[in-house]
Structure 1
Amino acid sequence: MTWFSYARGQFLLSWKVFWRNRRSTFIGFLLPVLLNLVVAAPLRGKEIGGVNAAGYTTVGFIGLALATSFVNLLTGIVARRDELVLKRLRGTEVPPTAIFAGQLGSGAAVVLLQVLVLGGVSVGWFGTPLPADPLLLLLALAGGYLVFAVLAVALSGLTPSSETAPLVATPVLLLCMFGSGVFTPLASLPEWLRLPAHTLPLAPVVQTLRTAWFGREFGHESWDGGPLASIDLLHGWQTAAPQLLVLAAWAAAAVVLTRRLFRWEPRHG
């Protein structure tokens, strides 16, 4: 069998397990969609930074889908480790990279489905325009997913069991949810919190997604501020460059943590 055959088998298995587990389906798929309907729908007709406020918030929830995928990936990896699935697979001819490529690929497919659902709601119901720069949008999504996926692999090494996985994952999810500009601009936070908030792994993703979707230089917008000037594609990439560098730094740190913390066998003691 080829590497792709092994990865495909792991992908299909992870895909089936995800949709059969009600908890993972709710957190990993339904939560961002339902929260978006509750938070963004009342903002129809309002604006922030010169764009549709409901669409602005929806793009934030697209970013949040990456954080919810982290929760399910962490729980799934720890469960497979504790059930000795990872140990048994490591003892076979299945390449380790194929084991994780299949599982992480399944999570990426769920995120892509969420993007289509949330994007469809934003464009079809809220009247948001189509993305101004789809390539930059996809790059931000791919980079953000990579960071959270590798962080899930790394932090699985610190998670004693699948029962305690929510204790590790939930604080990360809440920190990203309320400190990365998903619901409201970072400028609305107390001044002493703004710099730390900008360095969270989800913050550069959300900011870049909004720049790519609306073609404006986000990062300093506020609810009572004026409209932001439109920018062309080149300036959009220039605006996103610092955010992509922060994301790259997080990716590098996640890889280092994975090499040091990940365990193939259950934790004892």
Structure 2
Amino acid sequence: MNATAARLTALGRAELTLLARNRNNLFVALLMPVLMIFLLRSSLSGTDDLPMGVAEATVVGGTGMVLVLVVYMNLVATYVARREELVLKRLRTGEARDTEILAGAALPASVIALVQCAILTALGPAVLDASAPRRPDLLLAGVVAGILLLVGLAAVTTVITRSVESAGLTTLPFFLVSAMGSGLMVPTEALPDAVAPVAELLPLSGVMELVRAGWLGVGQVGGKELLGAGLTTVAWIVLSVFAVQKWFRWEPRR
């Protein structure tokens, strides 16, 4: 256990150093979520039929934005870069297991996402005039589950991502689908009745339901919906792990 922790710490420290040297990735990880949250608040301010307040919709959607931008989009570029530089291949010849290599590379982004979500939770009531989270335990569960899911989905997305430059294109469909269908920019209650059942099955929808329950309370979400959200999230995590084990590439295509 100590050896595993030491390897993860070493891999995470090395990845953090590389992240600090990459201005583009650093901007996406640190500043882009802040800009998107204020853009989200501005766009929601003109909506009249929100099932919750603008401030609450902003903090719920903002949490999702942090997860997608910091974890998913950042990690796809990171994994591809390490693959193309043969870093992943070299690491596999050492003592670190495959899961440790992927987890170590994801450690800095995951910690940054947790810190940003914590800052949003602490400052949301003061800066955005939102109510305090009614169920912090569910909010934390949603954020942690979201990180686990998005790390797996990021690794899966590298299968169709040939270069770091193309990462912006291969991650865009998931970002757009999640933004419009999973409750990041458009609350799920505002979706048409014909679309809502399909949207509930999207990868990030269960996570966002947990996050929303954390902010608004179980009474605003419903126990049945919360159970379905948890099961959907677990199912997508299991599928992503299976896909990584089966299709993840450790070496560049030649």
* Structure 2 length-normalised TM: 0.89
Give 1:149-188 correspondences, 5 Å limit: 149-188=151-190
Q: Is 1:265 aligned with 2:236?
A: no
Q: How many residues were matched structurally?
A: 250
Q: Which moved more, 1:56-65 or 1:143-152?
A: 56-65
Q: Following TM superposition, by how much is the alpha carbon of 1:211 offset from its aligned partner in structure 2, in angstroms?
A: 1.1
Percent of residue pairs identical: 31
Q: 1:98 aligns with which of 97, 100, 103?
A: 100
Which residue number in structure 1 is paired with residue 73 of structure 2? 71
Which residue number in structure 2 is paired with residue 53 of structure 1? 54
Q: Is 1:107 aligned with 2:109?
A: yes
| Paired letter, 1:52 | G
Residue pair 2:156, 2:244 contacting (<8 A) in 1 also: yes
| Paired letter, 1:16 | T
Residue pair 2:49, 2:190 contacting (<8 A) in 1 also: no
Residue pair 1:154, 1:259 contacting (<8 A) in 2 also: no
Which residue number in structure 2 is paired with residue 22 of structure 1? 23
| Paired letter, 1:67 | V
Structure 2 residues not aligned, in runs of 5+: none
Q: Following TM superposition, by how much is the alpha carbon of 1:172 offset from its aligned partner in structure 2, in angstroms?
A: 1.1
| Paired letter, 1:25 | L
- Between structure 1 and structure 2, the one with the greater Rg is 1
Question: What CA distance in whole angstroms lies between the structure 1 residues aligned with 2:56 and 2:90?
Answer: 46
Q: Following TM superposition, by how much is the alpha carbon of 1:9 offset from its aligned partner in structure 2, in angstroms?
A: 0.9
Q: Following TM superposition, by how much is the alpha carbon of 1:78 offset from its aligned partner in structure 2, in angstroms?
A: 0.8
**1:29-88 Cα deviation digits (max 9, x unpaired):** 3222212113325749x8944x53212222211012221121111110011010000111
| Paired letter, 2:8 | A
Question: What CA distance in whole angstroms lies between the structure 2 residues aligned with 1:174 and 1:126?
Answer: 24
DSSP 3-state at the match of 1:63: helix
Which residue number in structure 2 is paired with residue 224 of structure 1? none
Structure 1 residues not aligned, in runs of 5+: 220-235
Question: What CA distance in whole angstroms lies between the structure 2 residues aligned with 1:218 and 1:132?
Answer: 10
Residue pair 1:155, 1:261 contacting (<8 A) in 2 also: no
Q: Following TM superposition, by how much is the alpha carbon of 1:25 offset from its aligned partner in structure 2, in angstroms?
A: 2.1
- Cα distance change on mapping 1:78 and 1:61 into 2, 3 Å: same
Q: Is 1:192 aligned with 2:178?
A: no
Which residue number in structure 2 is paired with residue 145 of structure 1? 147
Question: What CA distance in whole angstroms lies between the structure 1 residues aligned with 2:118 and 2:177?
Answer: 25
Q: Which moved more, 1:19-28 or 1:68-77?
A: 19-28
Question: What CA distance in whole angstroms lies between the structure 2 residues aligned with 1:121 and 1:36?
Answer: 12
Residue pair 1:40, 1:55 contacting (<8 A) in 2 also: no
Question: What CA distance in whole angstroms lies between the structure 2 residues aligned with 1:128 and 1:155?
Answer: 34
DSSP 3-state at the match of 2:195: helix
DSSP 3-state at the match of 1:157: helix
Q: Following TM superposition, by how much is the alpha carbon of 1:239 offset from its aligned partner in structure 2, in angstroms?
A: 4.2
Question: What CA distance in whole angstroms lies between the structure 2 residues aligned with 1:191 and 1:31?
Answer: 32
Q: Following TM superposition, by how much is the alpha carbon of 1:142 offset from its aligned partner in structure 2, in angstroms?
A: 1.1
